[in-house]
Homo-oligomer: A and B are copies of this chain.
Amino acid sequence: MNTLQLNLGERSYPIHIGSNLIGQAELYKKHLKGQLTAVVTNETVAPLYAQSVIQALESLGQKVKLIVLPDGEEFKTWEVLQKIFDGLLESSADRKATLVALGGGVIGDMTGFAAACYMRGIRFIQVPTTLLSQVDSSVGGKTGINHPLGKNMIGAFYQPQAVIADLNTLKTLPAEELAAGLAEVIKHGAIADSNFLDWIEKNQTALNACDPTAMEFAVKRSCEIKSQVVAQDEKEGGIRAILNFGHTFGHAIEAGMGYGEWLHGQAVGCGMVMAADLSVRLGLLKQDEALRLKKIIEALHLPTVPPQLGVARYMELMSVDKKAEGGEVRYILLDGLGRSKIQAVEDRYVIETLQAMNVG
């Protein structure tokens, strides 16, 4: 087992990465405070892993409440969030209760937000069971739900007590979701570590096969990079935004297609190709570097051709993106592979990229 530390002063916490972790009681033990733990999961994950987690918690003398939500991004709503609050209130959960988020990004974001809000804040532990959540969403404290008018519009920065990333859970992951997670792995290399990007390129077969040794390194290095960025800028006042590389274009794809059509990681994969093209146009990245990145994305079974929503629709979707501040859209660009830069970009360059990529 590898254990990293996310350093945020009194909000610091460990990230455990390894095999067969979710049933290990001692990993939960020191993060609990009261006698009640609620395990929040979804209908897909519950039959696979809920029992191991519950057994571990019960062995510590915890009373465990299981809260099972429907599975899918379309359920990341206030109405479904209420089910967590209802479950907690039914169990008379007090301020010492702990939540365990057992599942992917949707479960982690919702459970974290519920923990942030219940009685103005209770403890929670992230137990991510998808690659995407292990390498990205479970680390860094972004929590929230969607609003009918925008994704992740309602939420909180709220850090967990610990992250327990069990690599065994990746074995049951559909191929498409594995690829979606690998998009964020590539992203971490692209923005911050060209050596890691080299490693990904060399290990693409092992990664596609979900080889345990390869996955362990990919998760560990991703969490290290993300932790270092978050430690510098917890609430995204500046540098943390580099973690959104590929996301401005990606969110436009997700929103334009209707949420759920493209997986988030797929949209980010394609979005990175678009952001790299934009970086080339601005003279920051070489043509062959952008091509190399595109090939890595392709090799990991991610889409690189954006949907034909039309230039105007893309521009509209990107202007409402959260990163649009004070009327000016800021993009995360690559300043060479392994280095990133945040910059306001004039519309005409973005339009050039969209036209070059034949978005219709």
Pairs A–B under 8 Å by Cβ, sample size 18: A34-B325, A34-B326, A85-B147, A85-B153, A86-B149, A89-B149, A89-B150, A89-B153, A92-B320, A94-B326, A96-B325, A117-B117, A117-B144, A118-B153, A120-B142, A120-B152, A120-B156, A121-B235
A245 to B323, CA, bound (A): 44
A116 touching B156 by the CB < 8 A rule? Answer: yes
Interface residues of A in 145-159 (CB under 8 A from B): 147, 149-150, 152-157
Q: Which residues of B contact A153 (CB under 8 A)?
A: 85, 89, 118-119
A144 touching B156 by the CB < 8 A rule? Answer: no
A322 within 8 A of B: yes
A302 to B4, CA, bound (A): 57
A118 touching B150 by the CB < 8 A rule? Answer: no
A92 to B150, CA, bound (A): 11
In the assembled complex, the CB of A45 is this many whole angstroms from the nearest CB of chain B, namely 25
A35 within 8 A of B: yes
Q: Which residues of B contact A116 (CB under 8 A)?
A: 156
A281 within 8 A of B: no
A326 touching B119 by the CB < 8 A rule? Answer: no
A60 within 8 A of B: no
Given A324-B94, A325-B94, is A120 in contact with B86 using a C-beta cutoff of 8 Å? no
Residue of B nearest to A144 (CB): B120
A78 within 8 A of B: yes
Number of interface residues of A (CB under 8 A): 36
What is the 8 Å Cβ interface bit string for chain A, positions 77-91, against chain B (1 contact, 0 not)? 010001001100110
A303 to B28, CA, bound (A): 49
Q: Which residues of B contact A156 (CB under 8 A)?
A: 116-117, 120-121, 156
A322 touching B142 by the CB < 8 A rule? Answer: no
A95 within 8 A of B: yes
What is the 8 Å Cβ interface bit string for chain A, positions 222-250, against chain B (1 contact, 0 not)? 00000000000001000000000000000
A34 to B324, CA, bound (A): 12
5 more contacts with CB within 8 A, not counting A94-B325, A119-B155, A120-B152, are: A34-B326, A35-B326, A96-B326, A120-B143, A121-B157
Q: Which residues of B contact A144 (CB under 8 A)?
A: 117, 120
A116 to B152, CA, bound (A): 13
What is the 8 Å Cβ interface bit string for chain A, positions 141-179, against chain B (1 contact, 0 not)? 011100101101111110000000000000000000000
